[in-house]
Amino acid sequence: MTRAVLAAVLVLSTALPGWSAEGRDVTFPSGSETVHAVLYVPAGKGPFPAVVVVHEWWGLVGWVKDQAAKLADAGYVALAVDLYRGRTARQPDEAHELMRGLPEDRAVRDLLAATKFLRSRADVKKTAVGAIGWCMGGGYAFMLAVNDPRLAAAVINYGHLSEEKATLQKIHAHVLGIFGGQDRGIPVADVKKFEEQMKALGKSVEIVIYPDAGHAFENPNNKDGYRESDAADAWKRTQAFLAKELKGK
């Protein structure tokens, strides 16, 4: 093998994902429509806890699928839902257009259909279904917690929140919120108000703020804002939270 070929092999091998779960396309009904998602199932015998995985404003792209595969390798049935009906974006203006064009009621309905789909599966623990999302998806993970009283856990990564008592009162899930201290779209003051209101209502909430991080700091495709050490710590906290709230159910 020549040095050039060997070097190419090494580059390809280091670029391969470090997880084994493979996704398969699935569909399920949402009202009169059909939703597409990618399902990842752990190796071994279930039933397993499950997580609805909600994408950023870019759509159901590779990085989101990678997170779902990592969750499956950690022992969760992971369902990465396509809220954009097959569309994705490469540029921020495209992503902004897709996000603004997504009807909120349809997105919530799709996510409720996703939890129903997971609970219908024999390999899923019905009482151990959670959700995780980033950016736009973090906001929708929050909305799913508001609208699905059976949701056991929600991980909100720099997603929009609410401080309204009537809204927060509907949440029964345990909540982990992960935010950046330099996020101009979601001020720390708003996050702290959310935390205070949740605690005042007797809700289970844990908030982590990374002081030097901005928005979308967990995604390495965010070249200007990715923070490797903070992202690794956030994933470690996510894993510990989901294990505590879902694996013991």
User: How far is 92 from 98, CA to CA, in rounded Å?
Assistant: 10
Q: Output the CA–CA distances (angstroms, integers) from residue 197 to 133, 185, 194, in the order listed.
A: 21, 20, 5
User: How far is 234 from 240, CA to CA, in rounded Å?
Assistant: 10
- pLDDT, tens only, 177-202: 999 999 999 999 999 999 999 999 99
Q: Which residues of the chain have pLDDT under 50?
A: 1-16
Residue 10 lies in a domain: no
Q: How many domains does the chain have?
A: 1
Residue 7 lies in a domain: no
We report the CATH number of the domain holding residue 110 as 3.40.50.1820
Residue 82 lies in a domain: yes
Structural domain for 42, as ranges: 19-246
pLDDT of residue 164: 95
Residue 98 lies in a domain: yes
Length of the chain: 249
Residue 6 lies in a domain: no
pLDDT of residue 125: 97
pLDDT of residue 46: 87
pLDDT of residue 18: 63
Residue 150 lies in a domain: yes
pLDDT of residue 134: 98
What the block records as the tokens of 4 is 């050039």
User: Which alpha helices (H) appear in the chain, and where do they start and end?
Assistant: 3-15, 62-73, 92-100, 104-119, 136-147, 165-168, 188-200, 228-246
pLDDT of residue 21: 76
Residue 120 lies in a domain: yes
